[in-house]
Chain A
Amino acid sequence: MAVVEMMTDRRPPSVEPASEADRPGVAARLPAIGRTLAGPLRPAISLGFVLALWAGVSASGSVNEALFPAPWTVVEAFMEMAAQGVLAQDLSVSLGRAAVGFLIGATLGVVVGLATGRTKLFQILLGPFLTLMRPIPAIALVPVAIVWFGIGEGSKHFVIAYTVFLTVWFNTHHGMQYVPEIYIRASRSLGASRLREFVQVVIPAAAPHIVAGLRLGVALALLSLVAAELTGASSGIGYRLQEARQYVRTDRMFALLIVLGVAGAVVDQIVHRISRRLVHWEQA
């Protein structure tokens, strides 16, 4: 969620709008009805609508229940897995993998992005190569990951870290390019050393992009999780999906997909809140 929107939404931050009137809160711009719905109610309306549609189609009996389970069957499957304890365990295993992969990928992504974004040498050496790597999807790396790391945790972390790394690198790299020249001028004419300029001016100026990249990275860590768990896992949501496929348990698949979706949305919201604090000056 919010992935595509963030990809296209990042423009170089302008150097403060000319007047205060240029930056009203988002809510103020919405018409009256939009404003009352802008709260937590909005997603509920959409979800309620889709759920009602789903229930209606299922109740009409016009679809094959074995292929397209009814909401109540999915709830049963969910309760069943929850009662067995597999759901909580799978979820924690999967989120743990996503977290480790994210940390590795994000750390490397920021470090390499800072290097290529600000240093000609690194940009020449790595920029084009990494740009070429970007279209390679995580799932295509599964065979390589298995050969390199076996079917243990290493291969999962590798696949996730790879995806996260490229996205975080890309955003960091571009954020560094868009540091407004006027900040650099101000910093130098105030006598800051190059190191201080880098730490106190360049990095904060690029921070909104870096943070946007990290948020995207979190989303991608969860997205590539299922691909990662194709490398011969014996637990995790992705593994459980594979297992459900073998037994043609579409109800379980649906339950797992919903769990994955909800987990992703919750994590994204948490990251969104944190990132707004991190770059509080950049009014979203």
Chain B
Amino acid sequence: MDQFKDKLLSSFIVFENQLNGQKNKPFHQLRRSAIDTFETKGFPTVRDEEWKYTNLKPLFKKDYNVFHSSEESLEFRDIRRYFLSESDTYKIVFINGFFASWLSSTTHQNYDVCTFSSALEKYQDIIDEYAGTIARNEDSLTALNTSFAREGAFIHIPDGKVVDRPIEIIFFTTDGDNNTFIQPRNLVVVGQNSQCNIVERHQSLGNQHTVSNCVTEVLAKKGAQVTYHKIQNDAPNASLIDSTTVKQEKDSTVTLHTFSFGGKLTRNNLEFDLVEPGAQANLYGISILNDYQLVDNHTVVNHISPHCESNELYKGIFDDHARGVFNGKVHVFPHAQKTNAFQENNNLLLTDTASIDTKPQLEIYADDVKCSHGCTIGQLDEDALFYLRQRGIPHKEAQALLMFAFTTDALRGLKIGELKNKLNRLIARKLSVNIDFDL
């Protein structure tokens, strides 16, 4: 870990020298203080309470390329299957950290759907106002991302606009021979009473080890409605550390779906700040893992203001030696009366070697609140299995149907038809059955 840390620290100097004019902009001050934070704190270890169940050491013992070359031979038809649609979505596509304009479909009409790097050049006022104000800069991995932040998605929706189609953000890595470390940085600002739907995906196309340390900041202004979907179905050697921080103003609704079906190690840090009354945060997660895959869902909902609501529902299915971690913290601040906070984590373990560590944490400093939490760990219901088999549904398909049924309440509210179909197919493939689940 120390070796790779040293490599990152020295890479920062190289990176800084590539920045030219950007070096003198206020955002770079943020990078500088962030690299100091990372230098002081380093990679988190299992001694750190928040990383007790997920050991990053094996991951960062390896060496990774930090600087990459752009790959321009990738064609849309080769990667069509990772997208929802060929023409009915906006697309912000990156390959090895570089923007791939020929695969993308951006816009500046009515709203901006483009790249973080172009925003650094063109929308400096928005960058200065929001970038780095929502993310947790004291967190060492967020700081590491901030110190190299230059590329990623930039979505800025002014007040009163409804984005007419879903926005797809996809990060591809292709480095065939090298282990790859990338650090995408996304900023999403949704104006008052505006609406947008986002789908984010990280996809390694090579066999080498890939680690993405991704940071996303989302601001939902008064009355904004944002639905954010994260599809995590990456290659067996690909790992993702995702830190997404959401700030919600009055009467805004943000729904975040996390679908974890693959990848070596997936760590989701989701943190919501409900800063004004009437904000509603919905966090839904479905993890279906097998082999030696690991998903670690760490969520924090900060009820800072009164009259806010949060709903959290995470469903996990773990087969083979797969491991899950769920750590859900709900923090109700002293003045946040009339808070409604609901949290649930249900898990199915299909083998004796699969495991889940689940830890709900409620910290409540107000006295007029409704908070609930619960977690369950179980196996498939044998009576239900027999019932389905008696009706002619074979064992494997019956199991799949029950597992799908187990996840469905975390799938509610999905509005994008093509996304439903895609998930339907992904889940069927993940459970290796050929049945139509009908979402």
- B is bound to A: no
